[in-house]
Copies of this chain bind each other. A is one copy, B any other.
Amino acid sequence: MTDARAGGERMHGWAADLFPICRSITGNGVRETLSYLQRIVPSMTLHEVPSGTVAFDWTVPDEWNISAAYIEDESGRRVVDFANNNLHVVGYSVPVDQWMTLAELQPHLHSLPDQPYGIPYITSYYVRRWGFCLAHAERELLAEGRYRVVIDSTLEPGSLTYGEVILPGREESEILLSTYVCHPSMANNELSGPVVTTALAEWLASLTDRRFTYRIVFVPETIGSIVYLSRHIASMKRNTISGFVVTCVGDDRAYTLLSSRHGDTLADRTAKLVMSRHAPGHASYSYLERGSDERQYCSPGVDLPVVSIMRSGYNSYPEYHTSLDDLSFISPEGLAGGYEAIRKCIELLEKNQVYRATTLCEPQLGKRGLYPTLGTRGSGYTVRSMTNVFAYADGTLDLVDIATRIGISADEAIAIAAQLERAGLIEIVNG
């Protein structure tokens, strides 16, 4: 088994362990999920933000927990049961226990006529209501009659929980990884995000020498990233040189690159270069197709250089936000591919520098053993990428720019720059 395959299997195992937990934007499901990941990345710290805390235009809502929920018919048969699938309950449903007719129940039911075998994922975080979600095929089987609906939940002041890993580097400049932990039993969106981010955090923590500081956050989507930004925006604006929202990185159907709002930040340029080789046919989305926490990180005035590298992106696959986005939708290969794409970006960023040639005119590569000593028709072309890196090391372009301009991969660029730097032919220009 290759390393990548083994890594994919491991991530898929974590996802399988976490799959049954009922997560929401607050509550014990989030805590249980983060505790599990903390065992893999022990430097993760958990943070609790009390209900009612104001963050920019938002307020942390009450905490929601649920122990059971079902719809029982007059015969006592449970026709819908949260115990079978936690998508059956509208997220943040208030408690209820009452008998009602099917007609009275219907307005509280949600299903997808076009996908009759999938249970939709529905929430109501900021307006108190209750509801059940079920496959449309099952809904159509509900007989007239009376039903008992029970939701045994609490929605009370508590706190919002998030996890944070800070891995210091030689420089204060930071790379941000952000993923979310608020979705119940769905696999590509979202468990692929936390497990790939955890694997990246584990790898980064294992490095003995990091150039950059890494800020890795596991938050509930939207409210969590807003709360997190409200606490850290000054230093994040000062230090963040690139960031990645990690979501929908688990299937193996496609690759997707979603640009930042500005579209040409270091994160964009890096991701474009890496993806051009890692996944040549990948889909490219502008920021107009945004859908996750880049909505906050790239918002006006926040303006962090954040992109999202995905496999099949949110809203682009039919299983999205239904029970059909299950563990069979993601795969070890899919997770490994998403992991590798982001890791390659980080590896390139760690080596990215603005370089300047140390000699005027071309250097004499031959005397350094870097050039064929016999001048033949094609001799100059055997080391073309090396001479190209030198030719563009003009003190204004960074390695990402140079590699993009001269058409080489991130790996080649890193190797050639290291070789030229060792030979004393290029030097780093300090910011």
Contact = CB atoms under 8 A, between A and B. Distances in A.
A123 interface: yes
A101 interface: no
A126 B359 contact: no
A375 B125 contact: yes
Interface residues of A, number: 67
A431 interface: no
Interface string A103-131: 00000001000000000111111110100
Interface string A357-399: 1011111101100000111111011000001101111110000
Contacts of A56: 359-361
A124 B357 contact: no
Given A56-B359, A261-B391, A288-B388, A127 B373 contact: yes
B124 A361 contact: no
B300 A395 contact: yes
B377 A288 contact: no
A127 B261 CA distance: 55
Contact of A222 (B288, B291, B362, B406): B362
Nearest to A123: B375
A377 B300 contact: no
Given A380-B291, A391-B287, A361 B122 contact: no
B296 A375 contact: no
User: Which of the listed residues A57, A121, A123, A303 has the most CB atoms from chain B within 10 Å of its own CB?
Assistant: A57
B288 A406 contact: yes
A394 B320 contact: no
A229 interface: yes
A407 interface: yes
Interface string A388-424: 1011111100000000001100000000000000000
A145 interface: no
A94 B326 CA distance: 74
A360 B123 CA distance: 24
A362 B296 contact: yes
Given A261-B391, A287-B391, A391-B261, A302 B361 contact: yes
A203 interface: no
Given A120-B376, A373-B126, A380-B291, A57 B299 contact: no
Nearest to A315: B377
A184 interface: no
Contacts of A290: 391
A344 interface: no
Contacts of A127: 366, 373-374
Given A120-B377, A391-B261, A302 B360 contact: yes
21 contacts: A58-B364, A120-B377, A122-B375, A122-B376, A124-B375, A127-B373, A129-B373, A129-B374, A287-B391, A295-B362, A295-B387, A295-B391, A298-B391, A299-B361, A300-B390, A300-B394, A300-B395, A301-B394, A302-B361, A315-B377, A321-B377
Give 6 nearest A-B pairs by CB, closest first.
Answer: A300-B394, A127-B373, A123-B375, A321-B377, A57-B359, A300-B357
